[in-house]
Structure 1
Amino acid sequence: MFLALLVPYLLSQFYRAFLAVVAGDLSRDLGFDAAGLASMQAAFLLTFALSQIPVGLALDRLGPRRTLAFGMCSAAIGSVFLVISTYPWHGMLAMALIGAGCAPVLMTGFYLIARSYPPNRFTTMSSLLLGLGSLGDPLSGMPLALVVEAFGWRPTMLGMAGITAASLACVSIVLRDPARPAAPSGSITPCAGAKQILVMRALWAIFPLALVSYACVIAARGLWIGPYLEAVHHFGPNALSLSATAMGFAIAAGALLYGSLNRLFGNAKDTVAAGTAATVAGWLLLGLLGNHSGAVALGLLLLVGACGMNFAIVMAHARSFMPTYLLGQGVTMMNFVFFLGAGLGQ
């Protein structure tokens, strides 16, 4: 089961970060300027965020297997459409389809982990899924650059569409839906479920952090690390792809590290507070010192990538306040907040 969940998340991480490497190709072939590239990334992120609402309902009502299968189908179609794109709006639509397709991936994993493991193992298993799956991010760096250089970006993305379709087949064959939990008073309407989640006061202090924390990390890694290092420090193509790969590894390492630190401290709140403080310090130093040295700038970007990846632990903390019968809708609502901030940020 874990492998069937891991591969789609590897693909999801790849798709949300690959634009940093192929931005020049898309600008040349589809006519994107800097604002257009940002809009293309935003199309993925905002569609991803808005899709969390139906994904949450589908997890609780259709089950995780069909929800994830529909998502991977949309991602495969979007990848093929990107391959045949010739105009900017084609690329925007393709990224929107991919974003909608990737939307259920991590939440399906969290949902099945929450239903398959005891609560005290949720943080460990979800951090493991997030950390290992985040290795899809560095795959969109130097490895992608080498493949694109050898074959071109269109054949490369066609290959990714084929891998996505294979993942769809694996999900359909391997995953099984857990028994559906019963609500205390029978059927709960979507609006009633959302209201129950929104009135949980414990979540009110979590929403603002979720809105901004991932937005900063994915904006840098997903697109702007390349243009920034190229314009300010004159990095060449190889240095840019290596830098993007390094930040991807830092994000993956940070996701795994948060799970270990949480077990060490025994308190999610203290762990997140310390990591967030380090992230804020990294961004401030980047603003003050980043223009003096490319090595210093890259080091600070690696720092904020690792320390800013508090997604899994924040999600696990929020999940602890949610009843089982609202688990799908609850975790996807949190994911909506994370990616809404990311999309609006772009």
Structure 2
Amino acid sequence: MSAAPGRSQASTPVPENEWLAPRTAVWVFMAFALAYFLSALVRAVTATLSPVLSAELALQASDLGLLAGGYFFGFALTQMPLGTWLDRYGPRRVILAFLCVAVLGCAAFAMATSFAGLLAARVLTGMGVSACLMAPLTGYRRWLSPATQMRANSWMLMTGSFGMVASTLPVQWLMPLLGWRGLFWLLAGLVVVSMLGIAALVPAWRHHGSAGAPAAGRAVGYGEIWRHPYFRQMVPIGFVNYGGMVAVQTLWAGPWMVKVAGYTPDQSALGLFGINLCMLAAFWLWGVINPHLAHRGLLPERLIAWGLPLSFVALGAIVGLGADAGWPLWAAFCVGSTFVALSQPAVAQALPPQAAGRALSAFNLVIFAGIFVVQWSIGLVVDAFGAMGWSTEASFRGAVAVFGLCCLLAYGGFLRGYRRHAIASRG
């Protein structure tokens, strides 16, 4: 990962638009990456633990969806104030404060004795880790060149995929040794370690303006961000397609493999491992090629328009094949959906640097609200079809078909905005 020349001491405050030296940029990235790795692991672990939790607490599909979605609900609750705090106080101060809440959430999950306790702990944990991606992306907007920002964003998501991979087979292997409660105590300790790394390595934030506008220039409020044409163009696919990809990756691919494809829990964990390994490779590749695509003038929205339909083909195959649709097709769906991840840094670059935290957090609110809605809704639709007398396989296939239709509608909304703005820019 490269950066333009700048200060080499991580402890020195970095003024707006002063890019980090390459070595400093790498250490800052690594410090943030550990926290985001743990955030993704905690996010996705419910898919691996779903057989154990379902058996221990007699959870239905809708209960499981709500438990997993509670993390994203807590995540979404913090996004609006988070953006303001990031722009005002900077990534280091904000993420350290939030990670304290994450430690409490992991500890509360480990000690919970009821479904309500688990759900409350998941919400608390989601709130605590909600700055783990927004904080570094806000810093990168100021500390890295535009092309390097796209690379850093993709490689942060790759780090998240490492966390997803760790939530599968490694968690399955640790379960006989630690149990799910011991696992969450271990996670709480690792979050503390990540806090120490961030405190030591991430630069401080220097203000150059009034409160709420740390950089020079006019302050941009949330209202202006939500009305921005580029932001609104990305909202449909951020909510449904991006949110749906994460909902599948962190929960529903697991139950599908067990209840529809007939996998054992160990085979399901292996399948989730394969899915997340494919995602890791995809985000690594995006990080490699993004600077070259940017230099060639290939805009993110154009790549999304071309590439996102690949995910629809995979969903159609899953619905059509039913029990014969195993983890490779779910991996194809998730990898095809990674095109929409290009929207996140693009939204930040479409707005002024002093609004980076608010722009990213507003869009992240869209994504995580989508994850919560899709994750819970799929469970509700599965249960609804089951109440109508459908078999388990038919209920899951019907729910995925409904989700696929929503993905197509969201893509159509994105295309209308994309074509309208393309025509306006040519005019």
- Give the structure-1-normalised TM-score: 0.93
Unmatched 5+ residue regions in structure 1? none
Q: Could you tell me how far apart the structure 2 residues matched to 1:28 and 1:66 are?
A: 41
Q: Structure 1 residue 126: deviation in Å?
A: 1.3
Q: Is contact 1:4-1:174 (8 Å) kept?
A: yes
Question: Where does residue 233 of structure 1 map in the other structure?
Answer: 261
Question: Where does residue 271 of structure 1 map in the other structure?
Answer: 303
Q: Is contact 2:151-2:286 (8 Å) kept?
A: no
- Any idea what SS the aligned residue of 1:203 has? helix
Q: Structure 1 residue 260: deviation in Å?
A: 4.0
Map 1:19-98 → 2, pairs under 5 A: 19-98=46-125
Map 1:82-231 → 2, pairs under 5 A: 82-182=109-209, 183=213, 188=219, 193-231=221-259
Residue deviations 1:246-303 (CA, integer Å, cap 9, x gap): 1111222222233445434633222222321111111111111233x2xx43211011
Counterpart check, 1:317 vs 2:342: no
Q: Could you tell me how far apart the structure 2 residues matched to 1:50 and 1:65 are?
A: 20
Unmatched 5+ residue regions in structure 2? 1-27, 376-427
- Identify the range of structure 1 (32-41 vs 78-87) with the bigger mean alpha-carbon deviation: 32-41
Question: Where does residue 37 of structure 2 map in the other structure?
Answer: 10
Question: Where does residue 306 of structure 1 map in the other structure?
Answer: 335
> Relative to structure 1, is the Cα distance of residues 181 and 288 closer, same or farther in structure 2, using a 3 angstrom cutoff?
farther
Counterpart check, 1:248 vs 2:276: yes
Q: Structure 1 residue 311: deviation in Å?
A: 5.0
Rg (Cα) greater in structure: 2
- Any idea what SS the aligned residue of 2:242 has? helix
- Any idea what SS the aligned residue of 2:140 has? helix
Q: Structure 1 residue 187: deviation in Å?
A: 7.7
Query: Which of 319, 322, 327 is equivalent to 1:290?
Result: 322
Q: Which has the higher contact order (CA 8 A, sep 6+)?
A: 1
Q: Could you tell me how far apart the structure 1 residues matched to 2:192 and 2:339 are?
A: 30
Q: Could you tell me how far apart the structure 2 residues matched to 1:283 and 1:181 are?
A: 48
- Identify the range of structure 1 (124-133 vs 39-48) with the bigger mean alpha-carbon deviation: 124-133
- The number of equivalent residue pairs is 340
- Identify the range of structure 1 (168-177 vs 275-284) with the bigger mean alpha-carbon deviation: 168-177
Q: Could you tell me how far apart the structure 1 residues matched to 2:299 and 2:88 are?
A: 33
Q: Structure 1 residue 43: deviation in Å?
A: 0.8
- Give the structure-2-normalised TM-score: 0.76
CA RMSD of aligned residues (A): 1.9
- Any idea what SS the aligned residue of 1:205 has? helix
Q: Is contact 1:138-1:244 (8 Å) kept?
A: yes
Q: Is contact 2:164-2:276 (8 Å) kept?
A: yes
Residue deviations 1:166-216 (CA, integer Å, cap 9, x gap): 11222223222232343589784xxx6112212211222111111112222
For 1:199, the aligned partner's letter is R
Residue deviations 1:83-120 (CA, integer Å, cap 9, x gap): 11101110001100110011111011101111111123
Question: Where does residue 357 of structure 2 map in the other structure?
Answer: 328
